[in-house]
Structure 1
Amino acid sequence: MRLVVLGGGESGVGTAILAKEKGYDVFVSDFGKIKDNYKEVLVNNGIEWEDEKHTESLILNADVVMKSPGIPEKAPIVKKLIEKGIPVISEIEFAAPFTKAITIGITGSNGKTTTTMLTYHLLKSAGLNVGLGGNIGKSFAEQVAEDKYDSYVLELSSFQLDGIINYKPHIAIITNISPDHLDRYDYKYENYIDSKFRITMNQTEEDYLIYDADDEAISGWLQKNKTRAKLIPFSLTKTFEEGAFIKNNTMEAIINQEEFKMETESIALEGKHNFKNAMAATSVAKLMQIRKATIRESLSNFQGVEHRLEKVLKIQNVEYINDSKATNVNATFFALDSMTTPTVWIVGGVDKGNDYNELMALVREKVKAVICLGVDNRKIIDAFGNVVDIMLEVNNMVDAVRMAQRITEKGDTVLLSPACASFDLFENYEDRGRQFKEAVHNL
């Protein structure tokens, strides 16, 4: 069997290692440059590779192709593979059959990283032999090759779900759905929604789907479509006989006739959206039969995720918060919604077709100044120019943070929550967040 791997990053190299171990003839091809540390791994494992090109004669003879999630289906080489009828799958689809471990798959437009990390924290704290992978951390395929975990918590993007055929998680979570990455879905929101729901397409009556019952896109899909999985909803406003909800400042989760309760003020993560993440993770913990005391302790000591509403420093009684992971409007909505003091908002980057109207009420109520950090800020200026007193443009993070410091007063908050992708001025959202933190520490 010949496996060709497109993309020589974490998921590509991990897949190549697993395939080689299972006796495949493996070839890795990357149209960009493969990083030196990954090249070293490929060479040490005796895996053939090329970069800065795709040699068709070495690719179109594949029996199966694993495509890294960052490569769009519109890429010429992918189109040719599909025309030839060669299966193009994701790392998750390739690796899953080689492990007996159960997987917990987590997807959603926002909150999936926090929910994944929190779920992993709950299971690990309970002493389960659990791995973390998917869109985060070490390659799932490489961990399967090492074969040391009984269960995995996987963060799954819509791109990874597009490449599954038979994969099913035992427990699936959809945190929420809002328009994102529409450039990859022919600008059709329903295509993106369908893509997220692929997480449940192979589930059976023995499996579970945990979902946000307050989310319109999720509820709409579930009304029109069927899944065989057992449904476990969570909500901030409704209550359930089975599911998780908030009532009188208490989080309740009722699963398999067993009830769990915890005061919301004891939960380490702040903000309503984080209560949702906590309900989703708690539902998994209950399904995995983890003790109530362990769940309580884990929810109260969880540290949160870097670049997601991360408190950086307080300088002269001004709080600086790094929310660089907010790459769409919906994520920034949660961030602004959780602000309790006058806010200087740093926003901008590569716009993915954003509609800023959703933020209008929050900006009027909470934002005293907007600092635009992007190559093209026209849309942001048009949207909020008449709404805030101060509107500034900068083209690097150091200036953004210095400007913010100049216009803040005691008791204010400076929030980096870009609502956009980062590729115009930064390598990625992590780079953007790190530069913000560095600039704040240098004030």
Structure 2
Amino acid sequence: MDDSSLRPKIQGLMPQINDDLEAMVALASCAFPGFPSEPVHAMAQHVVDAFGRCGVDAEITAIPGGYPAVTAEIPAPEGKPTVLLYAHYDVQPAPKEQGWTTEPFTPTWKDGRLFGRGAADDKSGIAIHLATLAAFDGKPPVGVRIVIEGEEETVSHLEAWVEANPDQVQADVMVVADMGNLAVGEPVLTIDLRGHVKAVVEVRTLAQPVHSGLFGGAAPDAWMALIKMLSSLIDDEGNCLVEGIASGEWDGAEYSEDVLRTNAGVLDGVDLVGTGSVASRLWSKPSISVLGMDATPVAEASNVLQPTARAIVAMRIPPGQDPRDAVEKLMAHLRAAAPWNVQVDVHQDKVSPPFTQGTDGRAFGLMREALAVAYRREVETVGSGGSIPLLDTLRDAAPQADFVLIGAEDAALANIHGPNESVDPSEIERMALAQALLIQSLAE
């Protein structure tokens, strides 16, 4: 692949791309219920305007029941393929109590990185697409469809829109810019994503709170019942004990224990959980988390047995596992683990399927070569512990498409969903170059 013209072109575009990214980070486009809608709509309009500056006529597309998407279509020249470019403009909430040392919606440069909520996840993905299309002056040598979602972080309505409008997402290649390398400058392609299922469990034991001194030791406490149920989900090493869930060993790039400890902020002396390689634990084995509990705050505690207790339990499931079967098995495990014939209600909260990307497609091979050229080093394959439910929907709508999963959200420092989220603009630049090389090669 020849990068002699595209590399300097994209390098010269980066000041404007960084300006656009700063402007996007300044918009608190949190699409969760209860957050103001004005920044979300302002963000959608900014994305339209940014693509316009790159020579692409984008528009705001209404998504029934939710926030709009930004879409565009550049028709393919005769005999050329079409590439769909996906990213999302909505962000996670950014409460200061997470531990932010900068203002989350004030773009801040420090040590060569841009800090702010969404700087990496996933406004960097939009920046990659902007730089790519600007490199072709808005006239790429293949057809291009753009889909920038506004609800990826919350309850997405885009999946239903895709199901109702499959003609709007037809493409030969789908490039999803919502991933990242393990470390800056070390290119990877993501080929597997774990799925995600959640269930809410409620335990009832008493008609009302009662004195723990008068009744403790005989009357059942709902919290203790729930704690026993939750503890049954894992063994002493932290492995998932829900029976019948797929599990495997990862055979791609390794994820070292030292890197995981640094990236996750594991405290000194605290053991990791699970068994097998770290990569397997993150990408090809199931895992269990308790995401929330309705609990009496310590400051408000009194000497009573609790009549009810409730929690939401999540299970990450590896590729190959049917998500609906998984959530049924999770709920059955919780019911079976209930002690003392307590009353239990368990219901499904969310089901997101896992995703597996084949590695033998033409576009995948070309992107592997493009990344090697852009980064000037070999490319490895990795998985992802997170899920993107839309990918299965896109695959159903366009089964002929070859998927490519990339991004600028490096695992080492980006800290997506947490405090002090940041992005290294060199990752945006090299990913944009690789994407442009892919498009150039697809046209040949």
Select the structure of larger CA radius of gyration.
2
- Judging by fraction of residues, say which structure has more helix: 1
- Tell me, yes or no, whether TM beats 0.5: no
- Structure ranking higher on relative contact order (CA contacts 8 Å, 6+ apart): 2
Per the normalisation by structure 2, the TM-score is: 0.23
Per the normalisation by structure 1, the TM-score is: 0.23
